[in-house]
Chain A
Amino acid sequence: MLSRDADACFWIGRYVERAEATARMVDVHYHAALESGLPGIEGADSPMRWDSLLAISHTAEEFYKHYDVYSDRNFLHHFAFDTENPNSILVSWSRARENARSIREQIASEMWEAINISYLQFRDWDVDRILAEGPHAFFNRVKNASHLFQGILNRTLLMSETRDWLDIGRFLERGDQTARLLDVKYHDLLPAYQEEDAESVEPLGVGSTMDMHGWIAVLKSVSAFEMYRKIYRGGILPASVVDFLVLHPQFPASVNHCVKRVEGCLKRISGNSSSAPSTEPERVVGRLVADLTYSRPEEIILEGLHEFLDGVQVRCIEIGNAITRTYLSY
């Protein structure tokens, strides 16, 4: 496969996933805040916790550069449409589209059309329409557009390298997004436990109503809530949430699952059927997979979840770089 085309597939996968992640995150947090029972004030004390969303998407700087007012309207515009925000839904989607345009002869025409039609639909929206019809109407549409694309991909594309490159982009981005989301939200939710008893692991299981609510939102924003319920009978415990979102091998958005999928794709591409890595990207991914497979949630939390998740994000970047050096621009 042409390296440039592989690169385009990789980025289509990433951008579609990024648009979906942003849509889920904003949607869930907007609605969670509405249900929080706190007064609907705007400004820095807004229960919307917009600041943490800025931290997750790494776009605080862009936001404060362009807006004076800390309002729902401005944040919705920032995350959904702002062309100044490199991670806004519209920007991500239009980049996916430009990449798809450049390889439209490689992918099925339905895949290109799905991306193109969704783009044209998103462009018909603006903040006024979001506020009039409700944010969920828009963000759900973005989520469905991503699912439609992935569905067509699954149904039409050859089991070939093209698919592996799309998947590498998708899963690397998804794992990275999950790690970021948990990192930032954990930071928001953490103080409540530390105040009670900083020494013990026990308080990790005890949360106020508000914290419980926050954790449910975290799970919901990666569509993990119902699946979590099926597996963990002990209620919403931070250690269990960390276990599920970071280490669980079967949950499709867990960091472990995502990184394993990337490893599988890389091995198919290089034709490596042994357990030892045959390329640099395989080596870096394999090492992260091993760490995630053999860690326990309690020890991660005790040693510092933030440090751990930060390390995961750095290693995702490393994986991306190794892939680029080995396959895409040599």
Chain B
Amino acid sequence: MSLFHGYETESFYDEMFEAPGTPRPHYQKLYTRLRDMSAEDFRKRTQLADRALIQQGITFAVYGDEKGTEKPFPFDLLPRIIPAREWEFLERGLKQRLTALNLFLHDIYHDQKILNDGVVPRELVVGAVNYRPQFRYADPPGGIYVHICGSDLIRDVDGTYRVLEDNLRTPSGVSYVLENRIILTRTFPSLFRDLAVRPVDHYTTQLLANLCELAPAGREANPNVVLLTPGVYNSAYFEHSFLAQQLGIELVEGRDLFCDDNIVYMKTTRGPQRVDVIYRRVDDDFLDPLTFRSDSVLGVSGLVNAYRAGNVALANSIGTGVADDKVIYAYVPRIIEYYLGEKALIQNVDTYLASNPQDYKYILENLDKLVVKAANESGGYGMLMGPQATQQKREEFAEQIKANPRNYIAQPLISLSRAPAFVENHCEGRHIDLRPYLLFGKESITLIPGALTRVALRKGSYVVNSSQGGGSKDTWVLANEPHPLSQTMGGMSQTMGEGTMMQSLPQSTNPNPTLEQGGAQ
């Protein structure tokens, strides 16, 4: 039985299929390759991939299990494919957004023109949990605040891309982009060749180059770059360790570092050694007990002063969280217009602010239709899925909103697009999102042509976070638009190469080449 037998697109935007049995042009080759694969064969490939993950220790511990069972992070072998033209659009839109948000951060930590002009209400910024007044008038190297950005995008029921939220602090997940790719190139090598999938493995090279650029004056020749992790018990520890290894830099914890006379050192077996650039994966709050939370044992006393003095660089900078606040999010289109004089290319999701009296009323009256989010939570916590929640849960949230309107926003429930995922012995549609990664260097912004596609593996679920049962998919960005003629030729050579000449016949007599061409957007 075919993997896609009985596959339904239902009322959602499906990434792979225009209609049941009719793949979109950029998925045609994948479809042809998989159509006749047995579920058994596919499951075997999945198990091989899982075993590779377990052996490499890319796993999470199942809490409360005495035998210490570890499971690989859920991973769906079916890739998500993004055609070249769509990606080009996303690239322009994401770079525009990041440029504007960086200007916004520079402004609010300096002259605050945007607040003086009343474009963003002052109280929303200075009242934000992640606004850091201690850091005003400090000058990060090159004026860059957000060196690594991993914003979340979704597609609605029409297939329109929208930004769901910005992640400007310490976005995680890029290690899965790189690891997933390695697994997929082993699983479907011929498809990579035929589809011209753009590579992603230059991510760490670009990141290292950008980090080295940040070194303080006089230290540029051979800067000591380190990655600061909260430690082995952090859920993203695998990623920290993986990145440090790929970047060839030391992985340090707060207890490995100390400051003396505004210089940061690490403790080595040959005595203290100066640190120039810190790629930190520790939140602002825990970075420096002298400046922020005094109970933090993860940070380094005196780090913020060393940073202000220009003796060490941090990526990302301090205080960036104010710009990915879910309330400020609603103002991002206005922020883009204010600084760049352009309309936002990628739209936001419609957002109601509980701090706005009209919206406040609307939110409380329509809790059963809305998704409510706390302004500063992440990982799918502090969230109410109105349509699916119990009456009691909705009432609890109503109370919380009334108590602290500034802290809540609401959005209509978006019917996230779906992509096929392998479930038991066939494919079913599951909701997905998209997290691309941008690197902001002194010369330019780089968008890595690939992304983390997170998938809500539970049937009907909209929550893609790994802490809530989400998995991931490899994301293929194509170098060229699919073309009906070359596509058929490529398909033929592929199927012949694998010794199954019969399969090339139905494809080479594809009845609908024009329809497919029209379908590409």
- A2 and B266 form a contact (CB under 8 A): yes
Chain B neighbourhood of A113, CB < 8 A:
55-57
A116 within 8 A of B: yes
- A105 and B268 form a contact (CB under 8 A): no
Q: With A3-B256, A4-B255 in contact, is A327–B56 under 8 Å at CB?
A: no
Encode contact with B along A117-150: 1 for CB under 8 Å, 0 otherwise: 1001001000000000000000000000000000
Q: In the complex, A3 Cα to B272 Cα: how many Å? A: 10
- What is the size, in residues, of chain A's interface with B at 8 Å between Cβ atoms? 27
Chain B neighbourhood of A116, CB < 8 A:
55-57
A101 within 8 A of B: yes
B253 within 8 A of A: yes
- B269 and A6 form a contact (CB under 8 A): yes
Q: In the complex, A116 Cα to B245 Cα: how many Å? A: 17
- B55 and A1 form a contact (CB under 8 A): no
Q: With A2-B267, A6-B269, A105-B251 in contact, is A98–B56 under 8 Å at CB?
A: no
- What is the size, in residues, of chain B's interface with A at 8 Å between Cβ atoms? 23
Query: Which listed residue (A2, A101, A269, A328) contacts B252, Cβ 8 A?
Result: A2
Shortest Cβ distance from B267 into chain A, in angstroms? 5
Q: In the complex, A123 Cα to B267 Cα: how many Å? A: 36
Shortest Cβ distance from B22 into chain A, in angstroms? 43
Of residues 242 through 287 on chain B, the ones whose CB sits less than 8 Å from some CB of chain A are 242, 244-245, 250-253, 255-256, 266-270
- A105 and B244 form a contact (CB under 8 A): yes
A15 within 8 A of B: no
Q: Which residue of B lies closest to A3 (CB)?
A: B267
- B255 and A104 form a contact (CB under 8 A): no
A50 within 8 A of B: no
Shortest Cβ distance from A238 into chain B, in angstroms? 41
Interface centre among B56, B242, B255, B266 (most CB of A within 10 A): B56
B236 within 8 A of A: no
Q: In the complex, A103 Cα to B251 Cα: how many Å? A: 8
B67 within 8 A of A: yes
Q: With A102-B232, A105-B244 in contact, is A2–B250 under 8 Å at CB?
A: yes
Query: Which listed residue (B245, B266, B269, B270) contacts A104, Cβ 8 A?
Result: B245
Q: In the complex, A153 Cα to B108 Cα: how many Å? A: 52
Q: In the complex, A327 Cα to B245 Cα: how many Å? A: 23
Q: With A102-B232, A105-B245, A123-B67 in contact, is A3–B269 under 8 Å at CB?
A: yes
B241 within 8 A of A: yes
Chain B neighbourhood of A117, CB < 8 A:
55
- B232 and A105 form a contact (CB under 8 A): no
Chain B neighbourhood of A327, CB < 8 A:
269
Of residues 80 through 117 on chain A, the ones whose CB sits less than 8 Å from some CB of chain B are 94, 98, 101-106, 109, 112-113, 116-117
Shortest Cβ distance from A120 into chain B, in angstroms? 7
Shortest Cβ distance from B370 into chain A, in angstroms? 42
Of residues 113 through 140 on chain B, the ones whose CB sits less than 8 Å from some CB of chain A are none
Q: Which residue of A lies closest to B227 (CB)?
A: A105
Of residues 47 through 99 on chain B, the ones whose CB sits less than 8 Å from some CB of chain A are 54-57, 67-68
Chain B neighbourhood of A5, CB < 8 A:
250
- A112 and B57 form a contact (CB under 8 A): yes
A72 within 8 A of B: no
Of residues 299 through 345 on chain B, the ones whose CB sits less than 8 Å from some CB of chain A are none
- A104 and B57 form a contact (CB under 8 A): yes
Of residues 199 through 258 on chain A, the ones whose CB sits less than 8 Å from some CB of chain B are none
- A2 and B245 form a contact (CB under 8 A): no
21 A-B pairs (CB sep. < 8 Å): A1-B268, A1-B269, A2-B250, A2-B266, A3-B269, A4-B255, A4-B256, A6-B269, A101-B57, A101-B241, A102-B241, A104-B241, A105-B251, A106-B245, A106-B251, A109-B56, A112-B56, A116-B57, A120-B54, A120-B55, A328-B269
Report, nearest first, the 5 A-B pairs whose CB atoms are least far apart. A105-B245, A105-B244, A327-B269, A3-B267, A102-B232
A1-B270, A2-B250 given; 11 more Cβ-contact pairs under 8 Å: A1-B268, A3-B268, A4-B252, A6-B269, A101-B232, A102-B232, A105-B245, A106-B251, A113-B56, A123-B68, A269-B269
- Residues of A whose CB lies within 8 Å of any CB of B are 1-6, 94, 98, 101-106, 109, 112-113, 116-117, 120, 123, 161, 165, 269, 327-328, 330
